[in-house]
Amino acid sequence: MSFVSIRSTVAPAASIENLRKVWERRSQYKAAAASGVRLDRRSAHGSHFDALDKRLYDWFLLLSRWGRKRIPFTISLLQEKARRIGEELGLDGFGASRGFVQAWARHHNLASVVLHGSGGSVDIGEAEKRMSDIRAQLQDFEADKIFNMDETGLFYRCLPNRSFVPADQRRVARGTKAMKAKERVTLVLACNATGARKVPVSLIGRAVRPLCFRPDGCACPLPYFSQKNSWMDASVFKRWVFEVFWPYVRSFTTDKVALIVDNLASHDDFSDDQLLLIALPPNTTAVFQPLDAGVIQALKMRYKKRFLAVVVRYLDAGSDAPSPSSRATVALANTGRTTMLDVARIIADEWADMTPESLARCWLKARCLPAPHEADITRLHADYHGADAPEMSTVVADIALVLRRVTLTEGLFPGTGSADVESGVSSWLVAENDADFLSDTIDEVLSGDASEEDDD
């Protein structure tokens, strides 16, 4: 096709000379588009602080993946991070102004909605329009054949300590050895709207084949996937659907089912005639996602209580505690060090103990189902008035009491009073939603500190 033909069909106002320049620079433009740079900018020049620009963008991408549901991307948060990176790079006179952050966001084609929180800043009116469409789609399915899937991070080795006490009550910074990125695992949860169908929880870790799974009798009781940053990506999502979700669903039905997911990019590139994949509106998972309405937090709380109880038993046993026969048999009970096998066993047990009634209650709380389905589920569990897990305040008080009984408080919370201990425990229970905690973890990934992962 000639440039004259191109101009007549695509860009009548462009000159032949300009079209030739665009053609000559096509590889440049393709590379820029692939890196996420806006192509409608007047200037093709990059930032004056290219190294800082790249590090800030890498940090943003990781934090948006790991903390996308709870971490608000405010201008001030990005300014503070840019300021820190500038200091590390030795950029004298760099002030990380508001204008710099706004220009940086435009440069990377970041919509303004990214710079706000999740549940609190969403336009509920606009989201409700999309939710009305979703409820209409779900009317074609029985409640038993509507599922929700969500993934969440778990810092599985982290103990409650003074670094979780609010900043105005502590003098030490976050970033202790109990907060390594390599100690994070992603849990993939899914259940149906009646709460009767619970898909086995899947784990996503960094090691290809953790050492703890290799001895006889130590096979992982849950599906396990390996990913270099231990998070969900498009490849892992497809494997999860075909290796975990479909086999489970096909064990009780051959009908088409609906699967509600968040709008994470890794869920987009997938289609199947027997599966209706429904993405929730952007930034609404904290509002309309059933698993995010209490299920995930309840499971994490169960895990952390059980994890801490085993640590306490190990410390109580002292020299009487059994010793591992080899590195492959290291476990929480015989060394006080949690392995992926410990995580899998605890999560499998606690997931099995979560009641259908409590799961269904979270579906009703999320308000994502058609009204007739909600009425059916309410009738189904009409006699249920209990709670799947005790109130947070009760759990916090119980854990603080356990810590004091085994004198762990002195080592984990030196120089703090009982109120600070309870405050620290409360923050520890929701550590995966803490912006500073996630930021410190991501910094370790970007700096390479977390690249050497233990194989257990």
User: What's the pLDDT band for 412 if we cut at 50, 70, 90?
Assistant: confident
Alpha carbon separation from 371 to 139, 190, 386, 452 (Å, rounded): 9, 22, 23, 51
Separation between Cα atoms, residue 394 and residue 400, nearest integer Å: 10
Instruction: Convert the pLDDT of each residue in 179-228 to its tens digit.
Output: 443 588 999 999 999 999 999 999 999 999 999 999 998 999 999 999 98
Q: Per-residue pLDDT for 292 more than 60?
A: yes
User: What's the pLDDT band for 400 if we cut at 50, 70, 90?
Assistant: confident
pLDDT at 181: 37
∠ Cα 53 235 227 (to 5°): 70
Of all helices (H) and strands (E), which one includes residue 399?
A: helix 392-405
Alpha carbon separation from 93 to 51, 78, 86, 88, 98 (Å, rounded): 16, 18, 9, 13, 15
Q: What is the mean pLDDT of residues 263-273?
A: 70
Highest mean pLDDT among 7-16, 53-62, 159-168, 300-309: 300-309
Which residue do the tokens 């904290």 mark? 286
With 0-12 CB in 10 A as exposed, 13-18 as middle and 19+ as buried, what is 394? Answer: exposed
**In CATH terms, is domain 43-115 a member of 1.10.10.60?**
yes
In this structure, what is the dihedral angle of CA atoms 252, 254, 257, 259, given to the nearest 10 degrees? Answer: 60
Q: Contact at 8 Å (CB) between 96 and 82? A: yes
* Percent of the chain whose pLDDT exceeds 90: 34
Q: Tell me the three state secondary structure of residue 283.
A: coil
Separation between Cα atoms, residue 131 and residue 370, nearest integer Å: 10
Q: 405 vs 116, which has greater pLDDT? A: 405
Of all helices (H) and strands (E), which one includes residue 408?
A: helix 408-412
Mean pLDDT check: name the lowest of 127-131, 160-164, 282-286.
160-164
DSSP string, 149-165: EEEEEEETTPPP-GGGS
Which residue, 231, 179, 239, 242, is CA-closest to 205? Answer: 231
Q: Contact at 8 Å (CB) between 266 and 97? A: no
Give the amino acid at 336. Answer: G
Q: What is the mean pLDDT of residues 137-145?
A: 96
pLDDT at 428: 80
Q: Per-residue pLDDT for 3 more than 70?
A: no
Q: 273 vs 48, which has greater pLDDT? A: 273
Assigned token pair, 211? 């050492």
Separation between Cα atoms, residue 172 and residue 176, nearest integer Å: 10
Instruction: Convert the pLDDT of each residue in 142-192 to its tens digit.
Output: 999 999 999 999 989 887 765 555 544 443 333 334 444 358 899 999 999
Residue/partner pairs of 86-92 with CB below 8 Å, 24 or more apart: 86/49, 86/52, 89/49, 89/51, 89/52, 89/55, 91/49, 91/52
Separation between Cα atoms, residue 233 and residue 222, nearest integer Å: 19
Which residue do the tokens 């409700």 mark? 128
Q: What is the mean pLDDT of residues 98-114?
A: 73
pLDDT at 236: 94
Residue 373 backbone phi and psi in degrees, to 5: -65, -40
Separation between Cα atoms, residue 375 and residue 352, nearest integer Å: 26
Q: How confident is the prediction for the chain on average, in pLDDT?
A: 78
Mean pLDDT check: name the lowest of 22-36, 181-195, 246-260.
22-36
Domain spans of the chain, in order of start: 1-34, 43-115, 135-447
Which residue, 182, 177, 212, is CA-closest to 328? Answer: 212
User: What's the pLDDT band for 133 if we cut at 50, 70, 90?
Assistant: very high
Tell how far CA 443 is from the center of its chain: 16
Which residue do the tokens 């093709």 mark? 44
Which residue do the tokens 């009425």 mark? 375
Q: Contact at 8 Å (CB) between 231 and 445? A: no
pLDDT at 168: 45
What percent of the chain is helix, strand and coil (3-state, nearest 5)? Answer: 55, 10, 40
